[in-house]
């Protein structure tokens, strides 16, 4: 029987999806095994009678320089440190669960007991948690709550996240230039803000969208990053589509300090943070507070930044259009 045009498309689409899944699963499995072997070599090297306390740290720094030159940023000092922790937390390679990504295992390696790790491994597989959901559940102390309450954690399935782990692309030497799976409203607003600032005409140059920042203790994704060549500073934007909390404000201040530490050059001015919150009944726009020593420079900043009412108008316009579009469905 001949396939109709729609059936032909659906059949080919399914073949492509399943083939890609097999490729990424194989790549994920190879990544986990190779990282485990690398971690094993690093730990064994540390245990070979080296007396200097700083030996391991210096070894990783030197290794990271050599490996980064040869294979790219997937083998920088931070990731080598995570690879070492990974081996120490999971010393039996056959016990690794291939359903979990490297990002899952980095988060799990930071937990202080095997009991916790096993709990979050099982929940991640059963409930199909992506790495962001795993991070949220760890922060919410789900393991501790499970000891006192007989409650199951609701799953948050997102099959796309499995094949969009940026570490897979770094491991394969590919550019992880993949469209993020943000909610439609958030994605619409971010695209509108990006276009608005580039057309604003006051020195804004686009740097990154959903920029992945990795530290020794956590991962962060910054929604939008610009550089203003008039003010000579980075400009970072964090968008929230839920009720604004004190934690969100503190997180933005932390982003600003972290960006200054990791990205700011000696001749750059302090980073500016912009926190946007689109609640159902109110839109909130908040610029980060500058350090006390920069009050004089703050007045100059204001001349080159969009006004709060302009940003509110963008967000409210996009929200209204989004709600109208959904009513039509």
State how far the alpha carbon of 70 is from the alpha carbons of 31, 75, 102, 162, 308, in Å.
17, 9, 21, 27, 46
- In whole angstroms, what is the distance from residue 17 CA to residue 51 CA? 52
pLDDT band at 165 (very low <50, low <70, confident <90, very high): low
The pLDDT of residue 88: 94
Supply the DSSP string of 270-325, one letter for each residue.
Answer: PPEEEEEEE-SS-EEEEEPPPPGGGHHHHHHHHHTS--HHHHHHHHHHHHHHHHHH
The pLDDT of residue 66: 92
The 3-state DSSP class for residue 54 equals coil
The pLDDT of residue 2: 52
CA 166 to chain centre: 9
The pLDDT of residue 116: 92
The pLDDT of residue 160: 47
**79 close to 212: Cβ distance less than 8 angstroms:** no
The pLDDT of residue 180: 38
The 3-state DSSP class for residue 232 equals coil
Of 267-271, 283-287, 322-326, least confident by mean pLDDT is 322-326
- Between 240 and 271, the more confident residue is 271
pLDDT band at 162 (very low <50, low <70, confident <90, very high): very low
pLDDT exceeds cutoff 90 at 130: no
Of 129-143, 198-212, 240-254, least confident by mean pLDDT is 240-254
Walk me through the domains of the chain, giving residue ranges and CATH numbers: 5-171 (no CATH), 184-327 (3.40.1350)
The pTM assigned to this predicted structure is: 0.51
Q: Which candidate, 286, 280, 218, places its Cα nearest to that of 248?
A: 286
The pLDDT of residue 105: 94
- Between 101 and 154, the more confident residue is 101
- In whole angstroms, what is the distance from residue 219 CA to residue 216 CA? 9
The pLDDT of residue 121: 93
- Between 242 and 312, the more confident residue is 312
């Amino acid at each position: 029987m001949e396939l109709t045009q729609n059936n032909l498309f659906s059949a080919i689409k399914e073949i492509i999806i399943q083939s890609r899944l097999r490729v990424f699963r194989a790549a994920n499995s190879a990544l986990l095994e190779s990282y485990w072997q690398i971690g094993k070599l690093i730990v064994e090297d540390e245990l070979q009678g080296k007396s200097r306390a700083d030996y391991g740290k210096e070894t990783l720094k030197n290794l990271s320089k050599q490996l980064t030159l040869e294979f790219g940023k997937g083998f920088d000092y931070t990731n080598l440190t995570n690879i070492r922790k990974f081996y120490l937390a999971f010393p039996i390679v056959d016990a690794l669960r291939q359903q979990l990504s490297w990002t899952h295992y980095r988060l799990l390696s930071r937990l202080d007991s095997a009991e916790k790790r096993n709990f979050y491994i099982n929940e991640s597989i059963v409930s199909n948690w992506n790495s962001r959901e795993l991070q949220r559940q760890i922060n919410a102390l789900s393991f501790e709550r499970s000891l006192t309450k007989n409650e199951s954690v609701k799953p948050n399935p997102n099959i796309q996240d499995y094949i969009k782990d940026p570490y897979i692309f770094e491991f394969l030497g590919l550019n992880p230039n993949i469209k993020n799976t943000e909610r439609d409203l958030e994605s619409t607003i971010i695209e509108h803000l990006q276009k608005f600032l580039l057309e604003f005409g006051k020195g804004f140059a686009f740097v990154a969208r959903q920029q992945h920042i990795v530290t020794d203790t956590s991962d962060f994704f910054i929604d939008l990053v610009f550089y203003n060549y008039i003010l000579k500073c980075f400009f970072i934007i964090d968008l929230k589509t839920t009720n604004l909390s004190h934690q969100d404000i503190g997180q933005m201040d932390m982003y600003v300090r972290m960006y200054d530490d990791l990205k700011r050059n000696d001749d750059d001015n302090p980073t500016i943070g912009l926190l946007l919150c689109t609640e159902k009944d109110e839109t909130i726009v908040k610029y980060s507070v500058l350090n006390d020593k920069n009050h004089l420079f703050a007045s100059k900043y204001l001349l080159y930044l969009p006004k709060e009412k302009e940003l509110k108008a963008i967000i409210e316009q996009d929200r209204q259009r989004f709600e109208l579009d959904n009513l039509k469905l």
